[in-house]
Amino acid sequence: SAVISQKPSRDICQRGTSLTIQCQVDSQVTMMFWYRQQPGQSLTLIATANQGSEATYESGFVIDKFPISRPNLTFSTLTVSNMSPEDSSIYLCSVEAGVDEAFFGQGTRLTVV
Amino acid sequence: AQSVTQPDIHITVSEGASLELRCNYSYGATPYLFWYVQSPGQGLQLLLKYFSGDTLVQGIKGFEAEFKRSQSSFNLRKPSVHWSDAAEYFCAVGASSASKIIFGSGTRLSIRP
């Protein structure tokens, strides 16, 4: 299994600013994933982050808006840039660990005012 | 296109009653199928998963799901629900355990005392 710690757990931010979310895993993992869950909605994959390479973004998400870092096999950050109220969501980090199982962090609840 | 449909947005059942949450998927190849539960303010927890083999899968917390290829369904069941089962349930499909998991829109389960 894997234990994932996300920081911050929640934040209220002013529009136009940026927030960096951290994801720390208690074991080395190859792939880390970032998801967004908009209010009342399901989860949508933002990007896949592999150590040592550029993140791979899904359709509708761009690096300028959601830059991702993956400096090592246990850590990743997602930045939400130039925020607007539409970015208010829960952002979740996920990793694959063990035998074909994905683990999720508890998420970062972001409110943009 | 790959997709997951959960036709029931909200279901209310009485405590002790049986439960079935519906899930239909559209996927080009043999998919990995998952059910996750999200309790209020919590992260996602994997209830069960199906890759191959026996089409009736047992999970945690007394849940089970049955894969029916002919119906492209993966319905979640529990013979007797408990008040603590009140949560949001997500069906998901993926090419592997954690690669580009596509989530359904979720079904919110309420328990009637």
Residue the block writes with tokens 């529009």: A15
- What pLDDT is attached to residue A101? 73
CB B92 within 8 A of CB B48: no
Confidence check: pLDDT of A1 > 80: no
Band of pLDDT at residue B59, cut at 50, 70 and 90: very high
- Within an 8 Å CB–CB cutoff, is residue B103 touching chain A? yes
Phi and psi angles of residue B60, each rounded to the nearest 5 degrees, phi first: -85, 165
- Within an 8 Å CB–CB cutoff, is residue A27 touching chain B? no
- What pLDDT is attached to residue A82? 97
Copy the structure tokens of residue B78: 């529990």
- Within an 8 Å CB–CB cutoff, is residue A31 touching chain B? yes
- Within an 8 Å CB–CB cutoff, is residue A2 touching chain B? no
Could you tell me the sign of the dihedral formed by the alpha carbons of A63, A51, A95, B52, in that order? positive
Share of chain B above pLDDT 90, in %: 69
Closest-CA distance, A62 to chain B, in angstroms, reads: 16
State the CB neighbour count (10 A cutoff) for residue A48.
20
Band of pLDDT at residue B40, cut at 50, 70 and 90: confident
Copy the structure tokens of residue A78: 């997602």
Phi and psi angles of residue A41, each rounded to the nearest 5 degrees, phi first: -115, 175
Confidence check: pLDDT of A86 > 90: yes
Tell me the residues of chain A between 49 and 68 that have a Cβ less than 8 Å away from chain B: 58
Please state, in angstroms and rounded to a whole number, the distance separating the CA atoms of residues B112 and B13. Answer: 6
User: Helix, strand or coil for residue B25?
Assistant: strand
Confidence check: pLDDT of B97 > 80: no
Are A92 and B43 in contact (CB < 8 Å)? yes
Nearest residue of A to residue B43, measured between CA atoms: A106
pLDDT digits (tens, 9 = 90+) for B81-96: 999 999 999 999 987 6
CA atoms within 13 A on the CB side of B45: 14
Q: Give the single-character DSSP code of A55.
A: P
Closest-CA distance, B91 to chain A, in angstroms, reads: 10
